[in-house]
Amino acid sequence: MGTSEDQGRVEEDSARSEASPAPTSAPVEPARKPKAYIAILQGFIGSLMMFAGSIGAGWIANGSPMVRHPLVIALRTEGWGVATSTVLLTLGAMLLVRSWLRLGQRLKDWGPGSLTSVAAAVGAWSLPMLFAVPIYSRDVYAYTGQGRLMLEGRDPYTEGISSLSNWFSLGADPTWAEAKTPYGPYFLWLARAIVGITGAQPDASVLLFRLLAGVGVLLCVIFVPRLAELHGISGGRALWIAVANPLFLISFVASAHNDALMVGLAVAGVYFAATGRHITGILLVTASIGIKPITIILLPFLGLMWAGAGATMARKFLFWAATAGISFGVLVLSGIPYHLGIGWTWAILDPTPGYTGYSPSGFLGQQVESLANMIGLPGGSIADWLRTGMKWSGMALVLVLMFRGDYSHLVRRLGLAFAAVVMLSPIIQPWYILWFIPFLAVTGIRDDWQIKSLYVAITFFVVFGAQDQLSVWSFVDLQVQVSSLAYIVALSFTVYLLVLDIHTRRLLVQGTPSQWFKLRRPLS
C-alpha cells in the first residue's frame, strides 16, 4: 500500500493522461491459462507406474493363466521383482496424490475450461488402472464367487462362496468363505450375468466388473458438476474433489469396487430429485440400494425434496411414506427373480461385527479399553458400549438432520447424515469415505481446514492401502518385508510433499523449512 503522497502523484498522473492521451500504449497481455496438462501428464505417469507395479504386487487369482507367464513369475518369485513392483506401485500412488494436489493448485481460479481439464485428468489417470491387476483390495474376486452362486441357483444371502467347488482358485479373500453377501439384488443380477458371459474366468470377470464400476465413475463425472452448479459451486472444483482424487480412482477403478456404481446412481438420483423429477430420483436411488443397501439413508431426504419448501409435518410424513412405499415396493418385486426375497435387509439389520483401529470409535475404544483395564475395570465391555453408543449416535444425527435445517440445504444435510453414519461406525474401510464426499463437494468444501482435512484423509488412506494390501507369495525370500518397504517409500514421499516440495508444502503449512526453525531476535 502506498503513502498519501504516492496517492496524490497517481491522481495527478491520471488527470494528465486524461487531458492528453499517451502517444503509445503497451499491449495488454492476456491472462495465462493454467498449465493443467502438466499435472495430468504426471498423474498419467503415476498411474502407469501403478499398472506396472500391480503385475508383481497386485492380487492375481490362483486360477488365472497370468500366474504362468514368465514375466509374472519373475516379478512374483524373485526378490528383485517383488521389491521393484512394490516400489513402482507405491511411488505411482504417491505421484498420483501429488498430481491431484498440483491440478487443484493450477486450476485454483476454477474458471472456464477447468471442468474439461478435470474430466480429462479423470480419464487419463483411470486408463492404465482399467487394465491393472486388482490392487488395494481383492473384493472383486468375491463378486465372481457370488455370481457363481447365483448361476448355480443358490442363495448368496444364506451361503458363502466356500460352498462352491474349487472356490479358492477364484482369488477371493478367505474371509468371504462363509460370509453372506451384503449386496443388493441388482448387483447379484449383474454378477450372475458377468459370470455367465465369462464362465467365471477370473481375469475376464475382473475386467467386466471394472467396466461396471466405470459406469458408476462416469455417472459421477456427469452429475457431480451438475449438482454442484445447482448450489452455486464450481463444477470443476467439485469434480476434482469428489472424483479426481486418487483414493476414488484407485478404489473404484483399480479395485473395481461395486461402490462406484452405488455412488454414481445415488448422485444421479439426488440430482434428478433436486431438479423436480422426484420419481426418477427415487428410482435411481432405489437402484443404488439394489447395489449396496447403505444408500437407504438418502430416501428420507428425497422425501423432503418431494414434499417441497415450507411443508407441514403432516405433509413431510406423507411424502416420506410415499417415497418409502415406491422404493421398498420396487425392491420387494426385485426379490422375486432368482428367489432372493428381501435377504439384502440383513446387511442393514445385522452389520459385520468388529471394528477397524483407524475408525474414530475403533481408536477411542482401544484407548478406553486400555485405560479401563489399567484400573481394574472390564475394558472390553466398556469399549463395546462406547462403540455401540457412537454407532447409534450416528443414527440419531440422521434423525436430527431429517427434522432440522433449511430446505435449501437438503443435499448438504443428506451428505452430513451419510458422513455421520460412516464416521461413527465401528468399521470404516478406506473407500467408505467416498460415499459421502461427493455430496459435501457439491455443496461446498471451503479452502481452509475443510479441504486440508480432506488432503490428510485421502493421503492417509492411499498410504495405508499401499502397505496393507500387497500380494506376496509366502515362499519368496526377501531381505525387507514388502509392507515395510512400501511404508518407507510412502512415508518418505509424504515428507517430501510436506517439507521439500515448494508447491505442495504450502497446502498444509506456511513458510519455508528454514523459517520454521529460525529463532526470533530477542527484544532489546
Looking at the structure, tell me whether residues 399 and 464 fall in a common domain: no
Q: Which residues of 25-45 are buried (b: 16+ CB within 10 A; e: fewer)?
A: eeeeeeeeebebeebbebbbb
CB 415 within 8 A of CB 274: no
Residue with cell string 498410504: 463
C-alpha cell at 175: 474371509
* Nearest Cα to Cα of residue 411 among 227, 264, 226: 227
Residue with cell string 482358485: 169
Phi, psi of 21 (to 5 degrees): -60, 145
Looking at the structure, tell me whether residues 254 and 384 fall in a common domain: no
DSSP string, 309-336: TT--HHHHHHHHHHHHHHHHHHHHHHTT
* Nearest Cα to Cα of residue 504 among 466, 456, 467, 465: 456
Q: Work out how many domains the chain is built from and give that number.
A: 2
CB 209 within 8 A of CB 256: yes
Looking at the structure, tell me whether residues 465 and 365 fall in a common domain: no
pTM of the model: 0.88
Instruction: In whole angstroms, give the CA distance from residue 385 to residue 390.
Output: 9
Looking at the structure, tell me whether residues 288 and 142 fall in a common domain: yes
What's the confidence (pLDDT) of residue 34?
65
DSSP string, 456-468: HHHHHHHHHHHHH
Half-sphere exposure of 161 (CA within 13 A, CB side): 25
Domain assignment of residue 520, yes or no: no
Domain assignment of residue 516, yes or no: no
Looking at the structure, tell me whether residues 337 and 448 fall in a common domain: yes
Domain assignment of residue 454, yes or no: yes
Domain assignment of residue 125, yes or no: yes
* Nearest Cα to Cα of residue 144 among 104, 97, 176, 178: 176
Q: What is the pLDDT along the chain (524 residues), one digit of tens a residue?
A: 333 334 343 344 444 443 444 444 444 444 566 688 999 999 999 999 999 999 999 999 988 899 889 999 998 988 889 999 999 999 999 999 999 999 999 998 898 889 999 999 999 999 999 999 999 999 999 999 999 999 998 999 988 898 888 888 888 888 888 888 899 999 999 999 999 999 989 999 999 999 999 999 999 999 999 999 999 999 999 999 999 999 999 999 999 999 999 999 999 999 999 999 999 999 999 999 999 999 999 999 999 999 999 899 999 999 999 999 999 999 999 999 988 888 888 777 666 677 888 888 888 988 999 999 898 888 888 999 999 999 999 999 999 999 999 999 999 999 999 999 999 998 888 899 999 999 999 999 998 889 999 999 999 999 988 888 888 877 777 777 888 999 999 999 999 999 998 988 888 776 555 554 444 443 33
Looking at the structure, tell me whether residues 301 and 248 fall in a common domain: yes
Domain assignment of residue 1, yes or no: no
Instruction: In whole angstroms, give the CA distance from residue 381 to residue 364.
Output: 13
Instruction: In whole angstroms, give the CA distance from residue 176 to residue 446.
Output: 40
CB 368 within 8 A of CB 382: yes
* Nearest Cα to Cα of residue 454 among 258, 240, 135: 240
What's the confidence (pLDDT) of residue 256?
94
Domain assignment of residue 217, yes or no: yes
What's the confidence (pLDDT) of residue 358?
82
Looking at the structure, tell me whether residues 403 and 456 fall in a common domain: no
Domain assignment of residue 11, yes or no: no
C-alpha cell at 410: 437438503
Looking at the structure, tell me whether residues 400 and 432 fall in a common domain: no
C-alpha cell at 192: 450372475
What's the N-to-C CA distance of the chain in angstroms?
Answer: 29
C-alpha cell at 204: 475376464
Domain residue limits at 410? 353-426
Looking at the structure, tell me whether residues 255 and 212 fall in a common domain: yes
SS3 annotation, 506-520: HHCCCCCHHHHCCCC
Instruction: In whole angstroms, give the CA distance from residue 327 to residue 339.
Output: 19
Q: Who contacts 288 (Cβ-Cβ below 8 Å, separation ≥6)? A: 261, 262, 263, 265, 266, 269, 295, 298
Q: Who contacts 409 (Cβ-Cβ below 8 Å, separation ≥6)? A: 443
Inter-CA distances, 171 with 50, 144, 466, 491, Å? 20, 9, 19, 29
Q: Which residues of 133-158 are buried (b: 16+ CB within 10 A; e: fewer)?
A: bbbbbbbbbbbbbbbbbbbeebbbbe
Alpha carbon of residue 90 to chain centroid: 18
Looking at the structure, tell me whether residues 140 and 258 fall in a common domain: yes
C-alpha cell at 362: 475403533
Looking at the structure, tell me whether residues 420 and 323 fall in a common domain: no
Instruction: In whole angstroms, give the CA distance from residue 281 to residue 165.
Output: 41
Domain assignment of residue 517, yes or no: no
C-alpha cell at 355: 471394528
Domain limit, last residue, from 426, 457, 490: 426
What's the confidence (pLDDT) of residue 512?
53
Looking at the structure, tell me whether residues 142 and 267 fall in a common domain: yes
Q: What is the DSSP letter of 46?
A: H
Query: For residue 265, what is the enclosing H or E element?
Result: helix 259-274
Instruction: In whole angstroms, give the CA distance from residue 210 to residue 204.
Output: 10
